[in-house]
Structure 1
Amino acid sequence: MDSDLLRDPFRGYSRLRELSPMVQVAFGGRGSPLWLVTRYEDVRAVLGDRRFVNSAANVPGLGLKDVRATTVRSMGIPDRYAPYLLSTVLDADGEDHLRLRRLVARAFTPRRVQQLRPRVRALTGDLLDRLPVRDGVVDLVEHFAYPLPITVICELVGIPEEDRGLWRTWGGALLRQEEPEGIAGAVAGIVDYTAELVGRRRADPADDLLTALIRVHDEDGSVLSEFELVTMVLSLVLAGHQTTANLIGNGLLALLDHPDQLARLRADPEGLMPGAVHELMRWCGPVQSTRFRFATEDLVIGGRILRKGSPVMASLVSANFDPRRFEDPHRFDITRQPDGRREAHVGFGHGLHYCVGAALARQEAEVAFTTLLERFPEVALAVPRDQVDRARLPGVWHLGSLPVRLGPDGRE
């Protein structure tokens, strides 16, 4: 919660990285010590090593408590709803995680995602057609960066159009940590809504992922329980729009901040856009660190012995700015990964828990940036740079708003 760290996590975590490959910190400024893994190779090693688990219960012989459970209780979330935050596909380990991941992975393969591109283009164009410009200014976070990914993931999962605004409201409440009563209400709303939607879709099947998951559950409950079905929808919809929305918002601002890079991208969007999205994910990615992981045995990380049961957190932002891996890492360079296919950064994670929707997120960002820059080649900030609204939350890098002028092709 250090103000300087919240203001500039990129340089702040870089300073920590150069102090030590592992830094002991207190989560939230209090509680049990936590080891923060800071360097690129060590971060990849932790994320790729199955001897680190996401659930404290999977550390044999120690009976560890889940430190996140205390945080959830402090938010006033009733015991009935807490498991839906604490026992998702993101928390599962080993074969349980693979079982759940396989049920949705086929919907996010590069081939399936490529088939969605025309629909993503159509949705992007429709949003840009309907931008509510007032006095020449529009907020691209409110009216573009968020609506696009939530519409895409809701269509894919099977959330009815008339209900999608609820998910955006709930998702926003979950980010407002200073308002715990809103978080508790959002969790209850999501869980109750999803359970009710499962019943509706079971009675009236459709061509969507939710129907496919219901079919799996109804054919064999040992493959997917009703509880897991609800948490899967919750995880997919929330993770499937918030991170991508933040990537689009962060990325637009980064490009406006670097007119030389923006000019290069405008000159060759087809050739440079895939690599540019990778660089944006490295340079201003929305997720700064992973959730807790626990060592299942004594291990050595960065030359330091890590004892069995020790909680660790991998710093993605620190790894992505590690000069041991990236030359001049604080320089924003859209040609850093010229072929657009190699993914050197760890913005989407690494290993078993690598983001299942990474290909879809990259595609949405590519289409969003390409279409916006084609439609409005003179887009520019409508406020002084120091007045851009940046939410300051630990672990998350996102804009509260991004007011811009669209230029002569924009509507007044």
Structure 2
Amino acid sequence: MFDREPLARYPFDEPAGLGVHPAHSDCRSRGGLTRVRPPHGDDAWLVTRHEDIRAVLADRRFSRAVAVTRDEPRTAAVPLQTSVLALDPPDHTDVRRQVAGALGFNGPRIAGLRDASRERCARLIDGMLAHGAPLDLAEHFATPLSGEITCELLGVPFADRELFRDGLEALASTLPQEVVGPRIAAIYAYVDELCAARRVEAGDDVLGVLTRARDDAARLSDDSFFTELISDLLLAGYYNTSTQFLNAVYLLLTHPEQLRRLRDDPGLMPRAVEELLRYAPFPAHVTFARYATEDVHVGGTLVRAGEAVLAALPSGNFDRTVFEDPAKLDLSRSKNPHLSFGHGLHHCLGGPLVRMLFQIALSALLDRLPDLRLAVPEHELPWQPGLELRRLVRLPVTWGPLPG
């Protein structure tokens, strides 16, 4: 099927920190799409330009459901099987409506979460001050903040985190299936038990609301689908959010002139959060594959029916036809239509929560710890390999007067 140009291995290289490989820029400048061979699954067309990414993600001629019937191109060893991320309308429309209603990210719900987030930030920073510097911001702030908020919202006991934390990492892993398979099976077993208990006593949290909806929604009544859906929601809120928050703090602490601007002008915070979300690659390389259900032209390239495309969201976020001087972190950037929450049918429902949480948490850190800084040289910060995310293993920070 692919016979038009030579294949390129993708990802182009192992990521270094939060850098986006320059080969993406080369692809954008050539125009059209680039044929690639990922580590697993079918060959695909790589979509790198902002305009083309938006077009693909919004075009219903590109199907996620077909991917379940194929060996979809991917960086992870284990493909999605039954998640909402593998549905097309009308099934996708029905399930997404149920999930959106359960999350309830409207004015009242977000207002309540905002108050809870402020309280948790204050308590966690109190704990940091009591512990004393230096400490790991991941362990003492980012992970418990996103973890507690997510677990309370979903109805998953935060006290059980030792039972599901390794499984969440496995869901985001690019390690071999024999390594991650048992850990994924373990988290699915945990969620199965949790869901069975909720059949008896549902509650008013997301898991309870969706449990009550199972008898009225065909896809939610499928046990495997429901387990993977809840696991994906837990992964997004607990693991992905803490990962991106650490990346945001890392960017601030390694761009002192931008950090100074934000400290001097707290009103920049909403724009700053959007820029931090744009700049930190999410996911590390590409989002989930789509398959063309008919011949489609994208950016001057003919994608034939049955061929797969991979949208490189981080590449789109560095497209200089959309973002002025995209390689520069600019917290005052006014035009910022980034793609970090995706686009189209499958765009992330958690965007309002992430934006709110980042603004509150960063404001709290800068207010209570105005001299927050790295506790080790930047080159000593450990990045975790084998993930579909760019994640720091830990972020050692300190505060207080400089020595001497």
TM-score w.r.t. structure 2 length? 0.88
Check whether the contact 1:120–1:367 (CA below 8 A) recurs between aligned residues.
yes
Structure 2 equivalent of residue 333 of structure 1: 330
- Residue aligning to 2:273: 277
Give 2:35's match in structure 1, choosing from 15, 24, 37: 24
Q: 1:362 aligns with which of 341, 355, 360?
A: 355
In the alignment, is the contact (CA less than 8 A) between 1:42 and 1:302 conserved in 2? yes
Q: RMSD value over aligned CA atoms?
A: 2.5
Give the 5 Å matches for 1:261-272.
261-269=258-266, 271-272=267-268
Aligned to 1:209: 206
In 2: Cα distance, 1:180 partner to 1:223 partner? 26
For the residue of structure 2 that corresponds to 1:6, the secondary structure is: coil
Give, in angstroms, the shift of residue 18 of structure 1: 2.2
Distance 1:217 1:137 in 2: 47
Amino acid corresponding to residue 366 of structure 1 in structure 2: Q
- Structure 1's 295 and 252: CA in aligned 2 closer, same or farther, altered over 3 A? same
Aligned residues of 1:378 and 1:407 also touching (Cα < 8 A): yes
Confirm or deny that 1:171 pairs with 2:168: yes
In structure 2, how many angstroms separate the alpha carbons of the residues matched to 1:16 and 1:142? Answer: 38
Count of aligned pairs between the two proteins: 387
Task: Indicate the SS of the match to 1:170.
Answer: helix
Q: Alpha-carbon deviation of 1:303?
A: 0.5
Shift of 1:167: 2.5
Q: 2:87 aligns with which of 81, 88, 92?
A: 92
The 1-side partners of 2:75 and 2:271 are apart by 41
The answer for the alignment partner of 2:15 in structure 1 is 6
Structure 1 position 306 matched with structure 2 position 329 = no
Q: 1:13 to 1:141 in 2, by over 3 A?
A: farther
Whole-Å separation in 2 of the counterparts to 1:172 and 1:88: 17
Do the aligned partners of 1:108 and 1:357 also contact (CA within 8 Å) in 2?
A: no
> Which runs of 5 or more residues in structure 2 are unaligned?
1-9
Q: In the alignment, which residue of structure 2 is the partner of 1:78?
A: none
Aligned to 1:43: 53
Cα distance in structure 2, aligned partners of 1:300 and 1:224: 35
- Cα distance in structure 2, aligned partners of 1:319 and 1:70: 18
Is 1:384 the counterpart of 2:381? The answer is no
Point out where structure 1 has 5 or more consecutive residues left out of the alignment.
Answer: 59-63, 76-81
Give the whole-Å Cα distance in 2 for the aligned partners of 1:297 and 1:184. 34
1:46 and 1:116 map into 2 onto residues whose CA distance is 33
Counterpart of 2:180 in structure 1 is: 183
2:117 match: 120
- Per the normalisation by structure 1, the TM-score is 0.87
Aligned-residue sequence identity (percent) comes to: 39
Q: Name the CA distance, whole Å, in 1 between partners of 2:327 and 2:196.
A: 50
Report Cα offsets for 1:96-141 as digits up to 9, x if no partner: 1111111121324241223310001112222222239877311112
Give 3-state SS (helix, strand or coil) of 2:135's partner.
strand
Please give the alpha-carbon distance, in whole angstroms, between the structure 1 residues aligned to 2:315 and 2:12: 17
Q: Structure 1 counterpart of 2:37, which letter?
A: A
